[in-house]
Amino acid sequence: MKTSKKETNTMKQIIHNNKYDPSILRKCRNNKTKTKIEQEQETRQSRWARFIYVGSETRRITKLFRGTNVKVTYTTNNNLGKLLDMQTPPKRNKYDRNGVYQLTRHTCRMKYIGQTGRPFQIKFREHYNGYKYANNRSKFAQHVIDEGHSFGPMDNVMDIVHIAKKGKMLDTLKIFYIYRETQNKNKINDKLTVQTNPIFEVLLQHTPHRGPHSLT
Residue-wise pLDDT for 95-138, tens only, equals 999 999 999 987 778 899 999 999 999 999 999 999 999 998 99
Please compute the mean of the pLDDT values over residues 76-101 and round it to a whole number: 71
The share of the chain scoring above pLDDT 70, in percent, equals 64
Q: What is the model's pLDDT at position 98? A: 94
Q: What is the model's pLDDT at position 183? A: 83
Give domain 94-206's CATH number out of 3.30.470.10, 3.40.1440.10, 3.30.460.10, 3.30.70.20: 3.40.1440.10
Between the CA of residue 143 and those of 102, 136, 176, 211, what are the distances in Å? 14, 10, 22, 22
Q: Which of the two residues, 67 and 214, has the higher pLDDT score?
A: 67
Residues of the chain with CATH 3.40.1440.10: 94-206
Q: What is the model's pLDDT at position 155? A: 92
Please compute the mean of the pLDDT values over residues 185-189 and round it to a whole number: 85
Q: What is the model's pLDDT at position 204? A: 82
Helical H segments across the chain, by residue range:
5-17, 23-30, 36-43, 56-64, 80-87, 120-133, 139-147, 154-157, 168-183, 198-206
Q: Which of the two residues, 42 and 62, has the higher pLDDT score?
A: 62
Q: What is the model's pLDDT at position 119? A: 95
Reported confidence tier of residue 214, pLDDT bands at 50, 70, 90:
very low
C-alpha–C-alpha distance, residues 72 and 52, integer Å: 11
Q: What is the mean pLDDT of the chain?
A: 77
Q: What is the model's pLDDT at position 89? A: 60
Backbone angles phi, psi at 164, to 5 degrees: -160, 150
- Judge whether 14 and 54 are in contact, CB under 8 Å: yes
Closest CA to 120 of 88, 96, 143, 138: 96
pLDDT digits (tens, 9 = 90+) for 9-60: 777 777 777 766 767 666 666 655 555 555 555 555 667 777 666 667 667 7
Q: Which of the two residues, 105 and 209, has the higher pLDDT score?
A: 105
Q: Is the dihedral of CA 156, 161, 167, 171 positive or negative?
A: negative
Q: Which of the two residues, 85 and 102, has the higher pLDDT score?
A: 102
Q: What is the model's pLDDT at position 80? A: 53
Q: Is residue 176 predicted with pLDDT exceeding 60? A: yes
Task: Write down the number of H helices and E strands in the chain.
Answer: 10, 5
Give the DSSP letter of residue 7.
H
Reported confidence tier of residue 213, pLDDT bands at 50, 70, 90:
very low
Burial class (CB in 10 A: 0-12, 13-18, 19+), 188: buried
CB half-sphere exposure, 195, CA atoms < 13 A: 0
Please compute the mean of the pLDDT values over residues 184-193 and round it to a whole number: 77
